[in-house]
Structure 1
Amino acid sequence: MDRQQEYVLRTIEEKGVRFVRLWFTDVVGKLKSVAIAPAELEKAFEEGIGFDGSSIQGLTRVYEADMLARPDAATFQLLPWRGTDYPVARMFCDITTRDDEPARTDPRNILKRALESAADMGFTCYVHPEVEFYLFQQESDPEKIPVPIDSASYFDHVTRSTAHDFRRDAILNLEEMGISVEFSHHEAGPGQNEIDLHYSDALSMADNLMTFKAVIEEIAVRQGVQASFMPKPLGNVPGSGMHTHISLFEGERNAFADPTGPYGLSKTGRQFMAGLLRHAREITAVTNQHVNSYKRLWGGDEAPSYVCWGPNNRSALIRVPYYKPEKSQSARLEYRAIDSSANPYLAFAAMIRAGLAGIAGDYELPEQADTDVSLMSTMERQILGIESLPESLSQALRVMRESELMAEGLGEDCFAYFLREKKHEWREYSTQITTEERRRFLATF
């Protein structure tokens, strides 16, 4: 037993923890949980907790169903919203087979494999997401249009606002769990909020994002409101993105930083961005995994629809944020397509794989876009070689299906399952008859 595990067992005893929740996600990013008694934890560290993997979406097939959840002691935290009378803790798990091999379809393991590829090239990867979400008045009827908790807009200060209290409670809970928050504010949509997490390594951040969503949903229940990470919950207002800042480090040095390079970017940074651009269409099904995601991407309001980059261009897929020369550690790229409903393990893995391909292949960075590309004509974009992102989940899946990068990055089993599951989502959506269709075709004149 290592020191971290010993620390966890000692802390559980000292704090009087009554339950330990073991967390992991399925392929589409739904949080899964099993609670064990503290007395069972030492055995869980040594042997794992057995469960039926075939009952978890995309994890394994029926004839090889037995899986093990192995808690990662480094992720141990108390759940502050459960109080101190009967303390509850949580740990994220790595999923393995009975032979102690990492499960090929475990999203956390897929991200670990991508980070190992980065490490083989001498890099560690750090990310910093800006998470947007909506708060609605409590409403259990999905047939009704949700009502936002306010009518405020970008950076508005609303006196005695529910959102103020909500964000405060969320941040306090996150910080109690060791998750640092950079800042928070009201976003552009009515009832829309944003909380930005302080940068950390990509694996920790993926864990933090799953915790973030759990915190937001718990507080929503407690405050009698409804929280939604749906990419486009309302028409004619902005969708909820998760703009993600990403950088590579070589030891303590930011590998993207070069004060003498264009826009302060090193050759490595430019190659990484070129990789993201070249493979952007291939990874979109993962960074934007739902039918509804494409209503955000193609709904305007600064959501990126075209594959281009620019230093200060907020209509571009990738933005290069400015940093002061004396703060080279801040050099980074901002990938703007990803939305708040993405599975962060798979999305980060896909982004990292695409960027690393650009470095390994010495990709050439295309010319920057200095204007709003969406205002150009189709001919102008064609002349400049600017492609569009997929316009639907169906189109994104067709592009992904032909991608060697994604097949290798996700692994054969996860790749096949993801395509199959998302094709099913598209078919279900395509066969629905909407109110708008009835209004248009059944109208009387």
Structure 2
Amino acid sequence: MADRAAWVERAMAGMTEAGVRVVALSWVDNAGISRAKAVPLGRLHQLAGHGVGMSPVFDTFLVDDSTARTDGHGGPCGDLLLLPDMNRLVPLAAQPGWAWAPADRYGQDGAPYPGCHRSFVNRMVRRAADLGLSLLMGFETEWSLGPGGLGDGPAYGLSRLADSGAYLLDVVDALTAQGVEVLQVHPEYEPGQFEVSTAAEDPLGAADTAVLVRHTVRTVSHAHGLRASFAPLTTPSGIGNGGHVHLSLWRGEENLMHGGTGPRGMTSEGEAFLAGVLRSLPALTAIGCPAPASYLRLAPSAWAGAYRCWGWENREAALRFVTGPAHEASRCANAELKCFDQAANPYLVVGSVIAAGLAGCEEALRLPEEYSDDPAHADPVELERRGVERLPAGLDEAVRHLEGSAVLRKAMGDHLFGSVLAVRDAESVLFADSTRTQTVEATRWRY
């Protein structure tokens, strides 16, 4: 205990030296919105051990800040404790005077709260460890700048850097100063759209980093007089912003996505994990594409991964297998889930994907034949023969798959699973009568 107190004191001293005066403690709700409470730095020593109070009602918050009405979840009564993860405490480079830390939620008795998403990830990581397995995961973050923003010009065009170069430098510099390893940053398909990819790390770290990256992009954008949106769709006729997830499965120092006799060199365990994810994709869609707006983006022939299939370097497959350069395949081979977007809670995403994959390992599942074309242009009879099917075309359909998933229900536990379903059902009702344009306009600046 004394060692921890001394460690906290050193962390606070480092924050003081960095000019930090206030610390934002953040969590992400079931609607995918990052929420926060902020405390003066001087209180952090106390809060690191005892937490700050917060209401459980956030379990049922919707994207518009209304709440789902459901028994047993959320509500005005009760209180929780929000405890910062001091290991991720970091000064915000683009927001002088502020620091950030992700937070875990606990009950007043000190027990982990069953609705805590970071606790869910940790449980799934421990389940993998019990099998001798670990994972590396990472997110690609796409965003769009509002009207009058930077980056007009050809898709992926070098010319876009003429007016956005200084802005992107500030994004990269801020992320680097916060300890985030940037792999690449570039203009994306739509005008004013960009993407940054960050290095793979442990699953909880990857989800934390996804939250930090988005907040950093927002603050840098604000400093440039711009507004950033991570919404699935920002214009009614646009392509939209994805939230692709990369993952690899490891046993010790061995990458199980390489060096085996399975498809594309996967080991049997690597194949089984991906087969489990592929099997659960219709249900996982309700986690990774959690909003009515998500299904405006999840369209065929848009590189959104709208079909449940896998393929080597196939950007129209929901599960894209990536081997990387031949001389680095043992380190780089991984899989990418292309169908998800950034309305999703990243903690729910990584925890649910791990749960689905581990179920595949436990059942020694095998992948179907890979698909190497755009399913939207194929003969429907041939697609049916090969087991290739369209992912849910709407949130209601995805939620029905989630309701029927014994794998995800067991992994989340009744409390978390029930609160997720309550929010999904309520948002379906909220947007039931909205047009495409109304849905986009209502959610553009919420994510």
Q: TM-score, normalised by structure 1?
A: 0.89
Residue of structure 2 in register with 1:72 after alignment: 85
Matched, 1:90 2:100: yes
Equivalent position amino acid for 1:431 in 2: D
Deviation at 1:267, TM superposition (A): 1.1
User: After superposition, where does 1:6-405 map in structure 2 within 5 Å?
Assistant: 6-55=9-58, 57=60, 61-62=74-75, 65-83=78-96, 87-137=97-147, 149-158=150-159, 161-258=162-259, 261-298=262-299, 300-327=301-328, 328-405=330-407
Q: Secondary structure at the match of 1:23?
A: strand
- Tell me, yes or no, if the aligned pair for 1:264 and 1:331 is still in contact at 8 Å: no
Q: Secondary structure at the match of 2:364?
A: coil
Q: Secondary structure at the match of 2:302?
A: coil
| 415, 422, 425: which one aligns with 1:423 | 425
Deviation at 1:30, TM superposition (A): 1.8
Instruction: Decide which moves more: 225-234 or 267-276.
Output: 225-234
- Tell me, yes or no, if the aligned pair for 2:95 and 2:219 is still in contact at 8 Å: no
Q: Secondary structure at the match of 2:241?
A: coil
Distance in 2 (alpha carbons) for counterparts of 1:434 and 1:23: 31
User: How many residues end up aligned between the 2 structures?
Assistant: 424
Deviation at 1:312, TM superposition (A): 2.4
Distance in 1 (alpha carbons) for counterparts of 2:117 and 2:367: 30
Matched, 1:5 2:15: no
Distance in 2 (alpha carbons) for counterparts of 1:419 and 1:316: 26
Q: Secondary structure at the match of 2:26?
A: strand
- Tell me, yes or no, if the aligned pair for 1:131 and 1:196 is still in contact at 8 Å: yes
Larger Rg: 1
Equivalent position amino acid for 1:154 in 2: A
Distance 1:160 1:354, change over 3 A: closer
Instruction: Decide which moves more: 237-246 or 319-328.
Output: 319-328
Equivalent position amino acid for 1:263 in 2: R
- Tell me, yes or no, if the aligned pair for 1:270 and 1:365 is still in contact at 8 Å: yes
Deviation at 1:231, TM superposition (A): 1.2
Residue of structure 2 in register with 1:441 after alignment: none
- Tell me, yes or no, if the aligned pair for 1:153 and 1:186 is still in contact at 8 Å: no
RCO higher in structure (CA 8 A, sep ≥6): 2
Equivalent position amino acid for 2:159 in 1: V
1:292-330: CA deviation from partner (whole Å, max 9, x where unpaired): 111111253221121111112221111111234542021
Deviation at 1:234, TM superposition (A): 2.5
Distance in 2 (alpha carbons) for counterparts of 1:433 and 1:294: 13
Equivalent position amino acid for 2:13 in 1: R
Q: Secondary structure at the match of 2:277?
A: helix
Distance in 2 (alpha carbons) for counterparts of 1:299 and 1:370: 15
Equivalent position amino acid for 2:393 in 1: E
Distance 1:106 1:435, change over 3 A: closer
1:45-89: CA deviation from partner (whole Å, max 9, x where unpaired): 222222333356469534762111111110110011222xxx222
Distance in 1 (alpha carbons) for counterparts of 2:437 and 2:15: 53
Deviation at 1:28, TM superposition (A): 2.2
Instruction: Decide which moves more: 159-168 or 312-321.
Output: 159-168
Q: Secondary structure at the match of 1:427?
A: helix
- Tell me, yes or no, if the aligned pair for 1:199 and 1:205 is still in contact at 8 Å: yes
Distance 1:371 1:81, change over 3 A: closer
Distance 1:48 1:258, change over 3 A: same
Distance in 2 (alpha carbons) for counterparts of 1:283 and 1:430: 21
Distance in 2 (alpha carbons) for counterparts of 1:338 and 1:321: 17
- Tell me, yes or no, if the aligned pair for 1:27 and 1:105 is still in contact at 8 Å: no
1:213-236: CA deviation from partner (whole Å, max 9, x where unpaired): 111111222222221111122244
Kindly report the root-mean-square deviation, in angstroms, between the aligned alpha carbons of the 2 structures: 2.2
Q: Secondary structure at the match of 1:91?
A: strand
Deviation at 1:110, TM superposition (A): 1.4
Distance in 1 (alpha carbons) for counterparts of 2:164 and 2:245: 23
- Tell me, yes or no, if the aligned pair for 2:160 and 2:187 is still in contact at 8 Å: no
1:245-281: CA deviation from partner (whole Å, max 9, x where unpaired): 1012222222222165431211111111111111110
Distance 1:151 1:266, change over 3 A: same
Q: Secondary structure at the match of 1:300?
A: coil
Distance 1:20 1:355, change over 3 A: same
Q: TM-score, normalised by structure 2?
A: 0.89
- Tell me, yes or no, if the aligned pair for 2:23 and 2:99 is still in contact at 8 Å: yes
Distance in 2 (alpha carbons) for counterparts of 1:188 and 1:20: 36
- Tell me, yes or no, if the aligned pair for 1:310 and 1:316 is still in contact at 8 Å: yes
Equivalent position amino acid for 1:297 in 2: L
- Tell me, yes or no, if the aligned pair for 2:31 and 2:343 is still in contact at 8 Å: no
- Tell me, yes or no, if the aligned pair for 1:315 and 1:372 is still in contact at 8 Å: yes
1:360-416: CA deviation from partner (whole Å, max 9, x where unpaired): 111121111122211113222112221220010111011111111121222211211
> Which runs of 5 or more structure 2 residues have no equivalent in the other structure?
62-71, 439-447
